[in-house]
Amino acid sequence: MESFVIGLNTMIESELLRAEAIANFSPEQRSGFFHWMESVSDRLASEKRGSTTAVARDLAMKNQTLQEYKREREVQELVLFQINKHVRNRVNVSWRDIKQAYEVQYAERYNKPLRAKFRLVQISNRNTAGVAEFAAALAEGKTSFAELATKPYNSNNAKTGGLEEKVLTGERATMNFYNHPELNKAAQTLEPGETAGPITLGDFTAWIHLETIIDERRSLYDEQINIETNLKAMKMQVEHQKYIARLRSKATVTSVKDMTLRLLEIAEERYLPREN
């Protein structure tokens, strides 16, 4: 039912825009537009190397006749004309708007703290075969640290490959990532792609790998186009609704709710079997 109501609303809006466009055309514009629309079938045929049969076949695959297609194009073009004239032309996004939107979302969206993506492998010293296997595979260099960290010998969350993300709240060189001094020193100093170990952690032998530093910070210069696009879309939506509301107020349009109920009644009368 909801999708039906949405579709009905869209159809009403399209018809209001189409009718408004035609009503406000000058005689020259009206003549020019309908002359252009008459050439639609010729342009379709030219795209198919002049074959009207190919055009008809393509339209039939979409359950459309040529007349239905031309009517659909007419509505699309007139709706676009009205939107450009009465909605898009009213929307203006200034540099001040862009800058203000950036500043409002700065901390939450554009200045997120860096995150260090570590992978930590811890293997029990009693599992001498596991320690030897990991060390040999790491030295061989044919298998990535991330894949090796998923092996059963890794007691530090092998399912995620020992993944540990740390938020960098300050300078990495002064942060406390781990209580173990040697492990913490490695976390402070590793460069992306580097590995430290073996490191003795009590009953375990460990290796730590810095996979990457995730930097999602975005400058105003980087984001200005995206911000402008989003602001325009929001303002377009507001102007569109205001313009449609004005058109509805001028026209005699039955409420969508009443129209939906009436259509359901007609459908029931026409298609549901009657009891004898």
**Three-class DSSP labels, 14-67:** HHHHHHHHHHCCCHHHHHHHHHHHHCHHHHHHHHCCCCHHHHHHHHHHCCCCHH
> Are 78 and 154 members of one domain?
no
3-state secondary structure of 215: coil
Rounded to whole angstroms, the Cα distance separating 182 from 201 reads 9
210: pLDDT confidence band, cut at 50, 70 and 90?
very high
CB atoms within 10 A of CB 183: 22
- Indicate if the pLDDT at residue 239 is higher than 80: yes
> Are 5 and 80 members of one domain?
yes
pTM of the model: 0.59
Q: Which one of 214, 239, 265 terminates a domain?
A: 214
Rounded to whole angstroms, the Cα distance separating 121 from 153 reads 9
> Are 231 and 96 members of one domain?
yes
> Are 117 and 209 members of one domain?
yes
Tokens 């507001």 sit on residue: 238
> Are 102 and 77 members of one domain?
no
> Are 2 and 77 members of one domain?
yes
CB atoms within 10 A of CB 85: 14
> Are 210 and 121 members of one domain?
yes
The pLDDT of 172-177, averaged and rounded, is 94
Q: What is the pLDDT of residue 274?
A: 56
CB atoms within 10 A of CB 243: 20
128: pLDDT confidence band, cut at 50, 70 and 90?
very high
- Indicate if the pLDDT at residue 241 is higher than 70: yes
- Indicate if the pLDDT at residue 185 is higher than 90: yes
- Structural domain that includes position 27: 1-86
263: pLDDT confidence band, cut at 50, 70 and 90?
very low
> Are 154 and 197 members of one domain?
yes
Q: In this predicted model, what pLDDT tens digit does every residue of 11-65 receive, in sequence order?
A: 667 777 777 777 777 788 778 777 777 777 667 767 666 566 776 777 777 787 7
> Are 107 and 226 members of one domain?
yes
5: pLDDT confidence band, cut at 50, 70 and 90?
very low
Rounded to whole angstroms, the Cα distance separating 22 from 252 reads 17
> Are 133 and 189 members of one domain?
yes
Contact 212, 192 (CB under 8 A): yes
> Are 80 and 106 members of one domain?
no
Classify residue 190 by its DSSP letter: P
Higher pLDDT, 47 or 79: 79
CATH number of the structural domain spanning residue 197:
3.10.50.40
> Are 262 and 239 members of one domain?
yes
Q: How many distinct structural domains can be found in the chain?
A: 3
Within 8 A by CB and 6+ apart from 59, the residues are 65, 66, 68, 69
